[in-house]
């Protein structure tokens, strides 16, 4: 459980939710008996029981973009080029999909769940759209399937979106790297062409053709930080904010290949919170910071979910897919014996791989600022509804 002190009180973030306790419940840095009873009654130490099994499946490790900070790059691009070398190329095929179904069946039975949540991942999953659809179709034999996709959005047409929505796709996460000029300098095709306009045009067209929700992830660099609030406001003019969740993600310097990261100072926190304020005012959904464990990597050896590369290799987390030495098994033989440090949970690989890992002080300041902001926004909304 994360415990962070804020202006309004002390925030407790656990697997089962978030609770704000007044400062009076703490004396000498310790929780009083009254506070302990209040926290126990909130019952956030344990996550709510789930009836679903979680699968991340890579349909293609290849990508049509050449983002310089991507954690799947194995080296920087040559000067003047936009095609950094990447992890080994793998493509999900029909026989492997069948093996994934057989791998998943006993694990769902063991976990006593009947539903599936599937995250379609890459590379770029839409470089293999057949496998995206076929995977969801065949997994439906095990129970109801709900799916999400992490895509760069360049290949997301209304027709592809409609066909995937038919078999369970409900949301798509798409990343933007700043306003048009900055985005196009970072998130370009491997031939160097910009993608900002095509991505936003695709989101608009898919929103018109489907009921899909979008998660807009704003990757933020030192150069992009001053433009963050303006970017949020411009996005609200291009897409339907009521069907979008917005998240701001400071870029990390994976393996020392990208230096334009934030210094992680107090001033940066205020700028990011200003952008979140603009997002709420524009009608975007902003998620509450959480303290729960990930359904894919939070429990070892496939107890609650699994991460599967396109060739059937198992990894603990999406951050380690395709990285030599981080394999933890395969879908035919299951999980095998591996060094304990090879089981990586969310965020751990980034911290191991960069010399400028996120400082706890920065993360806590950003989390508590966002919690306070969301609390105030919720109170205003309740007041308007009551009035």
Q: Are 72 and 43 in contact (CB under 8 A)?
A: no
Average pLDDT, the chain: 92
**289 has pLDDT over 90:** no
Q: CA-to-CA distance for 135 and 227, rounded, in angstroms?
A: 39
Tell which residue, 382, 364, 384, 276, has the closest CA to residue 10: 364
Give the pLDDT of residue 198.
98
Element (H, E) at 200: helix 196-209
List of E strands, 164-226: 169-176, 213-220
Q: Are 129 and 156 in contact (CB under 8 A)?
A: no
Which segment of 52-61, 91-100, 348-357 scores lowest on mean pLDDT? 348-357
Q: Give the confidence band of 360 by pLDDT, cuts at 50, 70, 90.
A: confident
DSSP state of 303: S
Q: CA-to-CA distance for 4 and 8, rounded, in angstroms?
A: 11
- Measured N-to-C along each axis, helices 266-282 and 360-386 cross at an angle, to the nearest 10 degrees, of 30
Number of H helices, E strands in the chain: 10, 15
**Which residue carries 């997994």 as its tokens?**
139
Q: Distance between terminal CA atoms of the chain?
A: 36
Tell which residue, 282, 348, 358, has the closest CA to residue 316: 348
Question: Dihedral (C-alpha) 321, 322, 324, 326: value to the nearest 10 degrees?
Answer: 20
Which segment of 144-158, 248-262, 313-327, 361-375 scores lowest on mean pLDDT? 248-262
Q: CA-to-CA distance for 240 and 223, rounded, in angstroms?
A: 27
Q: Are 200 and 187 in contact (CB under 8 A)?
A: no
Give the pLDDT of residue 356.
41
- Over range 169-193, report the average pLDDT: 97
**pTM of the complete model:** 0.93
- Over range 11-22, report the average pLDDT: 90
**357 has pLDDT over 90:** no
For 32, the 3-state DSSP assignment is: coil
Q: Give the confidence band of 254 by pLDDT, cuts at 50, 70, 90.
A: low
Give the pLDDT of residue 346.
77
Q: Which residue has the higher pLDDT, 376 or 384?
A: 376
Q: How many residues does the chain have?
A: 387
Q: CA-to-CA distance for 76 and 188, rounded, in angstroms?
A: 15
**256 has pLDDT over 80:** no
DSSP state of 140: G
What proportion of the chain, given as a percentage, has pLDDT over 70? 95
Q: CA-to-CA distance for 203 and 369, rounded, in angstroms?
A: 30
Q: Are 294 and 44 in contact (CB under 8 A)?
A: no
Give the pLDDT of residue 362.
87
Express each pLDDT in 346-355 by its tens digit: 766 555 554 4
Tell which residue, 58, 93, 124, has the closest CA to residue 314: 58
DSSP state of 293: P
Going by their DSSP bridges, the two strands 334-335 and 329-330 should be labelled as antiparallel
For 355, the 3-state DSSP assignment is: coil
């Amino acid at each position: 459980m994360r415990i962070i002190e804020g202006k309004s009180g002390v925030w407790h973030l656990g697997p089962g939710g978030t609770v704000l306790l007044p400062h009076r419940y703490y004396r000498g840095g310790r929780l009083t008996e009254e506070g302990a009873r209040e926290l126990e009654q909130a019952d956030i130490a344990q996550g709510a029981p789930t009836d679903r099994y979680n699968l991340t499946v890579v349909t293609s490790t290849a990508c049509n973009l050449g983002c310089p900070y991507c954690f799947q790059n194995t080296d920087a691009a040559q000067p003047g080029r936009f095609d950094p070398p990447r992890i080994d190329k793998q493509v999900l095929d029909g026989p492997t999909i069948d093996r994934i179904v057989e791998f998943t069946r006993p694990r769902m039975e063991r976990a006593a769940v009947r539903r599936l949540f599937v995250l379609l991942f890459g590379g770029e999953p839409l470089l293999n759209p057949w496998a995206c659809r076929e995977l969801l179709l065949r997994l439906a034999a095990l129970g109801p399937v709900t799916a999400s996709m992490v895509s760069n959005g360049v290949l997301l047409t209304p027709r592809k979106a409609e066909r995937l929505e038919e078999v369970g796709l409900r949301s798509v996460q798409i990343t933007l790297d700043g306003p048009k000029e900055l985005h196009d300098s970072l998130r370009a095709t491997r031939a160097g062409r910009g993608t900002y306009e095509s991505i936003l045009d695709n989101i608009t067209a898919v929103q018109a053709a489907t009921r899909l929700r979008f998660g807009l992830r704003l990757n933020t660099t030192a150069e992009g930080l001053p433009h963050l609030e303006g970017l949020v406001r411009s996005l609200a003019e291009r897409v339907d904010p009521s069907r979008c969740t917005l998240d701001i993600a400071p870029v990390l310097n994976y393996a020392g290949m990208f230096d334009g990261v934030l210094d992680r100072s107090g001033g940066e926190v205020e700028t990011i919170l200003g952008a979140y304020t603009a997002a709420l005012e524009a009608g975007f959904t902003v998620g509450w910071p959480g303290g729960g464990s990930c359904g894919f990597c939070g429990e070892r050896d496939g107890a609650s979910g699994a991460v599967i590369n396109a060739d059937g290799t198992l990894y603990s987390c999406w951050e380690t897919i395709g990285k030599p030495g981080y394999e933890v098994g395969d879908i035919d033989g299951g999980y095998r014996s591996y060094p304990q440090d090879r089981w990586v949970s969310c965020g751990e690989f980034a911290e191991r791989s960069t010399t400028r890992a996120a400082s706890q002080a920065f993360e806590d300041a950003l989390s508590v600022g966002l919690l306070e902001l969301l609390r105030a926004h919720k109170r205003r909304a309740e007041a308007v509804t009551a009035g």
